[in-house]
Amino acid sequence: MPDAVSPRGFWGKLGYWAVLLFTGLLALLWAVPVLWAFVASTRPPSEPLGRGDVWFGSTITLVNYTTAMSLAPFKLYYINTIIIVLMILGVQMITITLAGFAFAHYKFMGKQLLLFFILLQLMIPTTALLAPNFSTIRALGLFDTRLAIAIPYFGSAFGTFLMRQAFLEVPRDLVDAGIIDGCNWWQLLRHIYLPPSKSMLVAFGLSSVVWHWNEFLWPLVVTNSDKSRPLTAGLVRFTQLGEIGAQWSLLTAATLLVVAPLFIIFLIFQRQFIQSFVHSGLK
């Protein structure tokens, strides 16, 4: 769609710059909360934000980050989050590839019914089922483990569906040629179906990592101690510690600690990230 105003003529130019200015201001407005949090996190503890200038302190310091790290076991939270996210990612990559391949390649009895059964997960999101799933986790003896946080996501309807779609795009002639060459199912999947579908797998993987890095409610429900608690649940506990109170520089430092790794990766791979989110349509 073309621009509202073309940068020709005096009024055209004026309108063009007005739209750009508006875009810039709106963007600034959207960025302010995070920028402000960053500024606040570098404020020395001796200059509380409640009194004095909220934007400029006398100096910039990283002491809030080290204090936050010492007040709560953020290192452990990091390890937990990373293990949980990678565990989910690893298992999902396998389950969705295998199931997607079966649905795309084979003809078998009950195929539509099985696909519908799996797609139920799209209509009834796991988040809504936290109460009964909690009972299951208890019954399995998994309460307060990292596995408890990860296990409900090991099978993914959305991932299965995406991989099926990607595999269906692979030209039939290519598949038939592979069959004639005597490929077994694993070779077909590995050498014919997967190579052109890799971008879809990466797209799903990236959004899976972001989604599970950020998840809070389910981990809150199934954890009870720091040994399994991820960053999000740890941060909320931290904000509620009595001795923290309204020490904003400390709170914002802790918040940015939780955000930092994902944010830095995002800044580096911005284009791929946005592409992935569009492809997978899933947080």
- Our CB check for another protein shows the closer of 198 and 269 to be 269
Which residue in 69, 83, 89, 220 binds another protein (CB under 8 A)?
220
> Does 65 contact another protein by CB under 8 A?
no
Min dist. Cβ of residue 40 to another protein (A):
7
- Report phi then psi at 224, rounded to 5: -140, -5
Show Cβ contacts of residue 247 under 8 Å, excluding neighbours closer than 6 positions. Answer: 45, 48
Amino acid 44 reads P
Binding mask 168-197 for another protein (x = CB under 8 A): ----x---x--xx----x------------
In three-state secondary structure terms, 247 is coil
Closer by beta carbon to another protein, 180 or else 195: 180
Report the alpha-carbon distance of residue 191 to residue 195 in Å, rounded.
6
Q: Is 19 in the site for another protein (CB under 8 A)?
A: yes
* Count of C-beta atoms within a 10 Å radius of residue 206: 22
Q: Which residue has the tokens 């592979």?
A: 178
Supply 127's token pair: 């988040």
Binding of another protein by 253 (CB under 8 A): no
User: Which one, 73 or 275, has the nearer CB to another protein?
Assistant: 275
Angle between helices 157-168 and 111-123 (to 10 degrees): 130
Contact region with another protein (CB under 8 A), list: 63-71, 82-90, 191-199, 213-221: 213-221
Q: Annotate each residue in 31-60 with x if it binds another protein (CB under 8 A) or - if it does not, as one string.
A: xxxx-xx--x--------xx---x------
Q: How far apart are CA 65 and CA 257, in angstroms?
A: 7
Residue 246 lies near another protein (rule: CB under 8 A): yes
Dihedral of the alpha carbons of 95, 97, 100, 105, in degrees to the nearest 10: -130
Taking the least distance from each CB to another protein, the nearer of 17 and 58 is: 17
- Dist. CA 261–CA 74, nearest whole Å: 13
- Which residues within the stretch 110-169 sit at the binding site for another protein (CB under 8 A)? 111, 114, 117-118, 120-136, 151-152, 154-157, 160
Residues 224 and 144: beta-carbon distance below 8 Å: yes
Q: How far apart are the first and last CA of the chain?
A: 27
176 versus 227: smaller Cβ distance to another protein: 176
> Count of residues binding another protein (CB under 8 A)?
102
Instruction: Out of 63, 67, 82, 105, point to the residue binding another protein (CB under 8 A).
Output: 105
Site map (CB under 8 A) of another protein, residues 262-281, x = contact = xx--xx--x--xx--xx--x
Q: Which is nearer to another protein, 5 or 82 (CB)?
A: 5
